[in-house]
Structure 1
Amino acid sequence: MLATTLACPRCQSTHVVKNGRIHNGRQNFKCKACGRQFVQYPTKKVIGQETRNLIDKLLWERLSLAGITRVIGVSEQWLQTYVNAKYEVTGRQVEIEEKKRGGLTIQCDEMWSFVGNKGNKQWVWLALDWKSGEIVGCYVGNRSGDGARGLWQSLPSVYKQCAVCYTDFWEAYEQVIPESRHRAVSKKSGQTSLIERFNCTLRQRVSRLVRDTLSFSKKLDNHIGAIWYFIHHYNSSLLV
């Protein structure tokens, strides 16, 4: 208990204790009555657009949110709120140039991830255009036929109508891909090597997808948002 008469700004209780320090070294306090955390004599810090643009770029790299706060000097609470808002408005459909109907080939694969704990598995289903290298489909869900169906529904219409689809032998693909255009192949064939390589890229660039990590997602919406945020960046980088 503090010897001073410091009062909580929310409930005015004086039952206040020290609770570590914030990112800039100032003493942080916590109200035992309502749980509010605060600093004495706070100064409002305006986060400029230049800093926000830098954060946007850092989110494309393998940095945890805690790491970004240490580099940039913003609070974890502000950054989490900023990231939540950004991922909420991130589109869940691919944005690619219109494709002609003939000669389309895609490679499909699924990769394991989790949210909250490793018991809550979330499989990331992906489809890649063999010619352009673009990610043309993505779905996050279970590894059953529902997951494969979600991936199929995420594809632009031209791919669902015309593309030849190369996958591994996972049976869920057979439930949704037309038999005449489905090619189940082994990894040794090299026919799914591009999407497998992208899986590695995704794990290297999105920290919450690393198999053994402290940066895992706590919320499914943010997990999905982070994946799509990187996919949009990856596809746009292919056009440069």
Structure 2
Amino acid sequence: MKCLECKSTHVNKNGHKKGKQNYICVECGRQFIECYQPHKGYSQGVKHECLRMYVNGMGFRAIERIKGLHHTTIINWVKQVGGLLPQAYEPDTIPEVGELDELETFIGSKKNKMWLWTAVDHFKPGILGWVLGDHSAQTFKPLWELVEQWRCYFYVTDGWKVYPMFIPDGDQIICKTYMTRVEGENTRLRHDLARLKRKTLCYSASEEMLKHSIRLLIYYFKFSDVPIPYSSNHLDTLI
């Protein structure tokens, strides 16, 4: 028998590991067993179920406890999927009335506040565009560049000071009563994504992870299913 590291034949038995004979190389100290079974990986069905659990309000460690998978494995699946999903979707019809709002959250610490800006069609369900960042005009600008193309009759907001910098005079209606659509969508985000809940042990440690999670959840809202991380650069879907 040869050492897997230095190829030396000077090896000794060194107890058992998980019921299998363990060996140690006298020359380099490498420990190994005689025959390794290749890891077959998890099935598409297991990945699909775990991702559906995630977008239905469960945290990574809760899924870990139920499914018996390590939480970092599920995190990697979310990253893999989220990195391939689009930032926004073309509306089926051009919105006549747009609604704009901001959802407050945090990254790592509650002192590190972030805002998720969302845009919706007043008459149809679904989030059509979003950006994540601070509460400034610089963060909102990319979202407005998307929304501006709709050329809505008017836009409904909560009156945050940034909006008049972009929305033409007379085109903004400040009224929380008419913001039921966007506030409803933001409530769904908080309800279905554990890391966005107001009182939770789950939170985002990185902005990148939060963005991946939002892309996945918005996909789920739109298609009522989740894509599967089939490979490093391809998504598959179980319907």
1:165: which partner in 2?
155
Residue 84 (1) aligns with residue 76 (2): no
Q: Does 1:107 align with 2:102?
A: no
Aligned: 1:184 with 2:179: no
Question: In structure 2, which of residues 178, 193, 196 is the aligned counterpart of residue 209 of structure 1?
Answer: 196
Structure 1 segments of 4+ aligned residues over 4 angstroms from their partners:
none
Residue type of the partner of 2:142? G
Cross-structure match for 1:122: 114
Percent identity over paired residues: 24
Q: CA RMSD for the aligned pairs?
A: 2.2
Cα 1:112–1:175 shift into 2, 3 Å: same
For structure 2, the 5+ residue unaligned runs are 6-34, 225-239
Distance 2:217 2:62 in 1: 18
Distance 2:111 2:163 in 1: 24
Q: Does 1:67 align with 2:62?
A: yes
Residues 16-72 of structure 1: CA deviation (Å, up to 9, x unaligned): xxxxxxxxxxxxxxxxxxxxxxxxx98635200111111221121111011111222
The whole-number CA distance in structure 1 between the counterparts of 2:219 and 2:197 is 20
Structure 1 77/214 Cα, relative in aligned 2: closer, same or farther at 3 Å?
Answer: same
- Aligned residue for 2:83, secondary structure, equals helix
**Structure with larger Rg:** 2
Contact 1:88/1:222 (<8 A) preserved? no
Q: Deviations over 1:131-167 (max 9, x none)?
A: 112212211111111232232124372x1x2342100
What aligned pairs does 1:31-46 form with structure 2 within 5 A after superposition?
Answer: 44=39, 46=41
Cα deviation, residue 204, structure 1: 0.7
Q: State the 1:95 CA deviation.
A: 4.2
How big is each residue's C-alpha offset from its partner over 1:168-201, in whole Å with a ceiling of 9 and x where there is no partner? 111111111122322122x2xx211221122211
Is residue 2:131 matched to residue 1:139?
yes
Aligned to 2:219: 232
1:231 positional shift: 1.4
Which structure has more strand as a fraction of its residues?
A: 2
CA distance in 1, matches of 2:52, 2:90: 19
Partner of 2:170, secondary structure, is helix
In structure 1, distance between residues paired with 2:106 and 2:36: 38
Offset of residue 235 of structure 1 = 2.5
* 1:85 shift after superposition: 1.4
Structure 1 residue runs of 5 or longer lacking an equivalent are 1-8, 10-40
TM-score by length of 2: 0.72
